[in-house]
Amino acid sequence: MSPRFASLTSGDCEERSDKRHAIFLSLTDNYAYLFNALLNSVELFGIGKYCDIIVLHDDSITEPIIDFYMSMTESLDTDVIFHRVQAVPGDSDLGKVMTIKFYRYKVMSEIGLRYDSICFLDTDIYFASDIREYFEIAAKTDLFVGVNDNVLRHYRAEKGKGTSPGWADSKEPLFENEIWDGKFICNVPTFIDMRKYASVFYDVFEHRRKLGMDSTWPFTGDLETMNLVMIKNGIKENLVVLPSHLWTGVHYSIYRVSTMVKRVGIPANIELTDTKFKSSIIFMSETYEHVRAFHGRDWTSANNEDRIKNHNIPKLLGQMEGSFEGKTLEKAAKKRCATYDIIQAYMLFLEFNCSVSLDDLVSVVEVKQYDYLKKRQKALESRIESFTP
């Protein structure tokens, strides 16, 4: 087996990779097709030239899957390193998904020490531009970079208030005073230097099942736990928060008036001020911020398509200021459905037309969404072809 696919352990952490940065993500067989798009986007934007991809996985990622990615990436800039998560006895009752989610904090706090900075992601994120500057911010300063969850938290210090975090065994509140957290972030993506913050990330792992909220006993998920532990360690002041619509999909911000994504194609004879963006693939918000990545599984099943177009889009239109009626409502809905098709076409471009072929992957692992994706690929063929650099 290639050394870059060797199993990593904490004892390897003193070694240095020839890449200065790393992306950590967790993977099960159900997400292999989404990893396919993520991997292709990393290669497309040159992220793999300076960044390792470290995949934390369970037993559902078999040797044939690992061998597939090894053979498909041998000639690429992107190096993929697989690390099988080994849960300690007694943690199996966390469940497969939550076990991997919490154990990634432990693994990142150990293996992340070999890099100048790291980013950790969910597997259903794929990139729309280069992201080097965020790694550099984390590596060269005491800051770390996260993405807002479009919420804030008013943590109470009194039981029974609904947002009173406490210890799962005693039910006593975690905080002595009320806390207002206007920097509540999604756990992904986060860019951070583990040489400065490894102890905090390990502390997130150590708090698995120890913390709960009034409405979520016996323990909180890893996202809430991470934010609580960051408050406990007093590091929120060092957090740079990016708006979620730069990493769209978290709260359907792509469909809102001021943040809806549109693709801007720049003619080849026009010079770009920022070479991170490919002239044929530039996604921007309505307010002209560059979109860095798409986040969500909304593009991969008929059920999701139906939910987005027939439920979420009408609901969002109804929540906006003012009201839409008649032709105005019809036009607004069509515009948002067109946005859905553009982003789905971009994912299908990454799935089918880039370096690692989903057509080949289905021979290694069953992809339940494959028939739907192939059908949509045909329907969106002209848009997919227009993405080719």
The alpha carbon of residue 203 and the mean position of all alpha carbons in its chain are separated, in whole angstroms, by 21
pLDDT digits (tens, 9 = 90+) for 356-376: 999 999 999 989 899 999 999
| 67: number of Cβ within 10 Å | 14
Q: Report pLDDT for 205.
A: 97
Q: Give the domain extent around 177.
A: 3-244
Kindly state whether residues 29 and 162 are assigned to the same domain. yes
Q: Report pLDDT for 316.
A: 80
Kindly state whether residues 216 and 337 are assigned to the same domain. no
Name the residue among 76, 95, 72 with its Cα closest to residue 85. Answer: 95
Cβ atoms of 155 and 135 closer than 8 Å:
no
Domain boundary among 244, 278, 309: 244
Kindly state whether residues 226 and 298 are assigned to the same domain. no
| 377: number of Cβ within 10 Å | 18
pLDDT at residue 331 greater than cutoff 70: yes
The residue written with tokens 């099943």 in the block is 301
Domain boundary among 178, 213, 244: 244
Q: Report pLDDT for 18.
A: 87
Name the residue among 94, 22, 75, 82 with its Cα closest to residue 58. Answer: 82
Confidence of residue 170 (pLDDT cuts 50, 70, 90): confident
Cβ atoms of 339 and 331 closer than 8 Å:
no
Kindly state whether residues 216 and 352 are assigned to the same domain. no
Kindly state whether residues 67 and 197 are assigned to the same domain. yes
Kindly state whether residues 98 and 164 are assigned to the same domain. yes
pLDDT digits (tens, 9 = 90+) for 88-129: 888 878 888 888 899 999 999 999 999 999 999 999 999 999
Task: State mean pLDDT over 141-154.
Answer: 91
What's the CA gap between 272 and 279, in Å, rounded? Answer: 7
Number of domains in the chain: 2
The alpha carbon of residue 224 and the mean position of all alpha carbons in its chain are separated, in whole angstroms, by 16
pLDDT digits (tens, 9 = 90+) for 62-99: 999 999 999 999 999 999 999 999 888 888 788 888 88
What's the CA gap between 260 and 253, in Å, rounded? Answer: 7
Kindly state whether residues 145 and 15 are assigned to the same domain. yes
Domain boundary among 197, 229, 244: 244
Kindly state whether residues 95 and 187 are assigned to the same domain. yes
Kindly state whether residues 227 and 197 are assigned to the same domain. yes
Cβ atoms of 383 and 72 closer than 8 Å:
no
What's the CA gap between 136 and 118, in Å, rounded? Answer: 10
Report the chain's mean pLDDT, rounded to a whole number.
89
Cβ-proximal residues to 99 (8 Å cutoff; 6+ apart), any chain: 58, 85, 87, 91, 92
pTM over 0.95: no
Kindly state whether residues 376 and 258 are assigned to the same domain. yes
Kindly state whether residues 235 and 251 are assigned to the same domain. no
264 membership: H or E segment, kind and range = strand 262-264
pLDDT digits (tens, 9 = 90+) for 192-248: 999 999 999 999 999 999 999 887 777 899 999 999 999 999 999 999 999 888 898
Kindly state whether residues 302 and 173 are assigned to the same domain. no
pLDDT at residue 10 greater than cutoff 70: no
User: Where residue 189 sits, what CATH number does that domain have?
Assistant: 3.90.550.10
